[in-house]
């Protein structure tokens, strides 16, 4: 049996379960559940909730294929949990909403979640465990690293390079770069909600102001 686990039973977790059901229509012989190491409930919205250790002891067997995607928005926490699940031979799987738009030559890494009304245009490369929340977009000729989070309504225009473990808050706007000199956001940056990014951001920077550059 195929077991599809959502790691994290918080707000985004309950939002993406319906997307999973729509994107994987033939789930008759499969099971969907939550993994959560913090909350104490055993069931949420009709789905079983287990700690990671209890999930392994109950479902890891030769008869089951285990798949997981991580709903937690914190990029570094998502990276840590990805290492943990892969070490137990659990496969990452992506969820892509039927209401999203993905155009030509888009590479999307495993474990990604593409919410409704997200647009990924053309000639885009995206690493593993990418989160694009509702109404976000990525324009042409962009390269996005691993464990990047777009909160709702993030606008990433063309010729942008985003490093690993970057968090962009709700409504952030990244102005376009150009082919010769892309605009870059370095590893581990945090961009505040509503910020307008007009120039490259060095690695490990927290952008708290509304206008950067």
DSSP assignment of 143-190 equals EE-SS-EE-TT-EE-SSEEE-SS-EE-TT-EE----SSS-EEE-TT-E
| Radius of gyration of the CA atoms of the chain, in A | 17
Nearest by Cα to 156 from 186, 189, 132: 132
CB 203 within 8 A of CB 189: yes
Residue position matching structure tokens 């989070």: 149
* CA angle at 144 for the pair 138 and 146, rounded to the nearest 5°: 130
How far apart (Å, rounded) are the C-alpha atoms in residues 175 and 187?
A: 18
Active-site entry in 30, 140, 187, 196 = 140
Residue position matching structure tokens 């929340």: 133
Check if 131 is active-site. no
**Residues designated as active site:** 140
């Amino acid at each position: 049996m195929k077991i599809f686990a959502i790691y994290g039973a918080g707000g985004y977790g309950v939002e993406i379960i319906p997307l999973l059901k729509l994107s994987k229509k033939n789930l008759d012989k499969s099971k969907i559940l939550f993994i959560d190491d913090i909350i104490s409930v055993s069931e949420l919205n009709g789905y079983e909730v287990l700690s990671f250790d209890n999930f392994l002891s109950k479902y890891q067997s030769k008869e089951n294929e285990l798949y997981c995607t991580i709903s937690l928005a914190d990029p570094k926490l998502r990276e840590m949990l990805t290492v943990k699940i892969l070490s137990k031979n659990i496969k990452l799987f992506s969820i892509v909403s039927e209401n999203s738009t993905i155009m030509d030559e888009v590479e999307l890494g495993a474990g990604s979640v593409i919410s409704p009304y997200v647009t990924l245009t053309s000639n885009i490369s995206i690493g593993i465990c990418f989160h694009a929340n509702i109404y976000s977009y990525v324009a042409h000729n962009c390269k996005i690293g691993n464990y990047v989070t777009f909160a709702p309504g993030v606008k990433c225009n063309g010729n942008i390079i985003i490093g690993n473990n970057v968090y962009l808050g709700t409504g952030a706007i990244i102005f376009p770069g150009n082919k010769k000199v892309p605009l870059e956001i370095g590893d581990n940056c945090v961009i505040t909600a509503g910020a307008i990014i007009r120039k490259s951001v060095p690695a490990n920077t927290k952008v708290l102001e509304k206008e950067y550059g």
